Amino acid sequence: MHKKIISVICVLFLLLTEFFPARQAGAAEDKAGVGYVALGDSLALGVGSSKSYVQRFYEQIKDRRGVKELTLIAEEQATSRDLLRFVTDPANREAIKKARVITIWFGAHDFMQAVRRNPHNYRQAGNELKENLITAVQLIRSINTGKDTTIYLLNFYNPAPGEKVPGVRATDPAEKKYEAFDLLIPYLNGFIADAVKQVNSDPYMPPVVIVDVFKSLQELGVAKYLGKGKDPIYQDYNNAHLSDAGHQAVAEALFKAPVSIRPGRPLAPSRVEEFSLPTNGAAVSADQGRLAVDFGNASLPANALLYVKTYEEPPFIVRGELLSPVYDLVLSFKPPQAFKISLKLDQNKVKNWKNVYVFEFKGNGQKLKVRQQSADTTRGTITAVVKRGGLYGVVAVKNSFSDTAKHWARGEIEKIAGLAVIDGDEQGYFRPERPVTRAEAAKMLVEATGVEVEDNTAATFSDVQSSAWYASYVAAAAKAGLMQGYQGKFRPGDKLTRQELAVILERAYGSKIKGGNGGKLESYSDRQQVATWAQGAVNKLVEAGILKGRKKDKLAPAGVTTRAELAALLARLMS
C-alpha cells in the first residue's frame, strides 16, 4: 500500500510539473546563482554545534563548481516522509531547480520511531525509507534536469548510542551500551545503499553519490565507546547530535566524495591527499611529484589545509587532448594572494607545446584558460598562476577540424583555435558557417584579449543567469568595457551583425588597429547600409584590412557574423 501511495505522489507531481511548469526566473532570481541545497534533519541544522556539516561543506565549495548560495531545507526529527514533503513543496522548487549540489541525509528518525514501537519493525522501516529516498531522487531529477548536478546521499552512524531496546542484544558484553541501534546500523545503511543502487540504474542520468559517513566517523572513534572522557563525535553520550569534530568529519567526507558531472558512471578520484600548510607559506608536492602547489611567502591562517583530489579520468568531457590528470584543489581558506601550480607532463605525449595550456574546469564542463602560464619544454613542466582552488588540468587544444579543410578561413581558424580562443563542438566540428551569438562573441573576445575572468561575479544583466556557461564571460566583457547591454539586458542569444562586431572590436582594440593597408569603404556598393553609429568603426577596420567584404563590392554590414568570420577578424587583430 505504501509503495502505491508513493507512486501516486510521484505521478501526480510529474503531471503538475508538466502542465504547470515553473515560471521563468526573473532578474532578482537570476542574481541568486546556482546553489547548494541541503535536505536533512537536526544534523543539517547543526543543533548544539558551533557550525553544522552543511555550513562547513558549503564554505569549501562556495564559488566553485558554480555554487554561489546555500539553501537549507531541514526540520528537527524529520523523516524520509518529510523529505518527500520538502521536495514537493512549491516554495522549495526554484532552489532545487537551480542547485548544482544537493545533499540528502535522512533515515535515523525513520528507524528510531519504528524500532521504539517494536524492535522487529526495522525491516518495514528500512523498506519504507528506501522507497521514499528513491521517490525523492526521482522528483528532484524531474525538477533539476542539469547533467552536472551532483546529488549526495549520506549513510548513518549510531543515532542513539545510549538507548536500549528490548529484544535487541549484543553478543559482546563490552558493547552492551551499543546493544540497540548500533546493531541495526548495517541494516539501515544497507537500505540506503539499495536505494542508491536502484536510482543509479539509469545510465543516462548523473549517478547519485553515496557518502560513507559511518566509515568517516568510525575513524574518528565512533566504532567503540572510549569509556573515559568525552566521545569524540557526540556532544555527550546521551545526545546523539554530533560534536564540532563530528560535523567536521562529515564535511570532510563530502569534500573527498566524487563529483557526478558526466552521466552514466561514478566519478571517484583516484587519490585524495591532505596537506597541513604552515602559516608562513609552503610548497607541496602531490600525486607522486606530478603536481606542485607553491603558495610562496604568503601568510596563511592557522590550521590551513589543502586537499588534492586526483582524477586520472576526468569527471567531465574534455574538448582536446588531456595531457595530465585533472586535479581538484580544495582549500580550507581563501588564498591571500595568487599562487603557482606546476604540472609535469609526459613529453612523449606532447606533439606541439604551442597548443598546450593549463585550464581551469568549471562544473558545467566549460574550460577557462589560465591567464598567466609558462612552459619549460626541457623539463616537461608547465606552470600557471591561479587565484583560487578548483579543477585544473593540461589540455592540448585541437586546432584543425574536418569541416574546415577547404574553407577560406582555415588558416585563421587554426591560429585562433591553437590559442584556445575558440574551439569546436563536442563532435569535433567547427561549424564555420554557423551564426555567432552575443554570448559566444563575449567568450571569444575575453579569451582573445586576455581579460581576467572572475569566479564569483554578480549578475550584470537581468537576462543573464549566473548559472549560464557564458555568465562569467559576459560579466568580464562588460566590466572591461568590451561589450555593452541595453536597458539592463545583454541579449545573449541574439545573433551578432558584422557592423555590431566592428564596433565591439574597435572598442576592444582601439589604438592597436592601424589603418592604411586595407581597402576603402567607398569601394563597396552597399556602404550606405552601414548604420550611422557604426560608420567610424567599420571604416577603421576596413582601412586596416581587418574587415573585408563578403563579395568584391559587397560588405554586408547588416549580415549575421559567422564563426569563421569572427575567427578571421580576431586572427588579423592578434597579428
Q: What is the pLDDT of residues 30-59, one digit of tens each?
A: 333 479 999 999 999 999 899 999 999 998
| Strand arrangement of the beta sheet that strand 372-376 belongs to | 283-286, 291-294, 339-344, 381-386, 372-376
Q: What is the mean pLDDT of residues 155-159?
A: 83
Average pLDDT of the residues of the chain: 82
Give residue 218's pLDDT: 76
Given pLDDT bands bounded at 50, 70 and 90, which one contains residue 474? very high
**Higher local confidence (pLDDT), 84 or 227:** 84
Given the DSSP bridges, would you call strands 356-361 and 390-396 parallel, antiparallel or unpaired? antiparallel
Identify how many contiguous H helices and E strands the chain contains and give both numbers: 17, 19
Tell me the DSSP string of 17-63: HHHSPPPPP-HHHHHH-SEEEEEESHHHHTTTSSS-HHHHHHHHHTT
Which range (145-149, 152-156, 432-436, 571-575) has the least confidence? 145-149
What stretches of 153-180 show up as alpha helix (H) in DSSP?
Answer: none
Given the DSSP bridges, would you call strands 209-211 and 150-154 parallel, antiparallel or unpaired? parallel
Half-sphere exposure of 543 (CA within 13 A, CB side): 12
Give residue 517's pLDDT: 64
Q: State how far the Cα of 91 lies from the Cα of 562, in Å rounded to an integer.
A: 43
Which range (25-29, 310-314, 375-379, 475-479) has the least confidence? 25-29
CA angle, residues 190, 193, 195, in degrees to nearest 5: 115
Given a cut of 50, whether residue 314 has pLDDT beyond it is: yes
Which pTM value belongs to this model? 0.59
The gap from C-alpha 47 to its chain's centroid, in whole angstroms, comes to 29
Cβ atoms within 10 A of the Cβ of 403, count?
A: 14
Instruction: Walk me through the domains of the chain, giving residue ranges and CATH numbers.
Output: 36-256 (3.40.50.1110), 271-396 (2.60.220.30), 423-574 (no CATH)
Given a cut of 80, whether residue 466 has pLDDT beyond it is: no
Give residue 456's pLDDT: 53
Which range (249-253, 390-394, 466-470) has the least confidence? 466-470
Residue pair 250/53 in contact by the 8 Å Cβ criterion? yes
Give residue 305's pLDDT: 85
Given the DSSP bridges, would you call strands 271-277 and 283-286 parallel, antiparallel or unpaired? unpaired
Give residue 220's pLDDT: 72
Half-sphere exposure of 453 (CA within 13 A, CB side): 27
Given pLDDT bands bounded at 50, 70 and 90, which one contains residue 376? very high
Q: State how far the Cα of 510 lies from the Cα of 505, in Å rounded to an integer.
A: 8
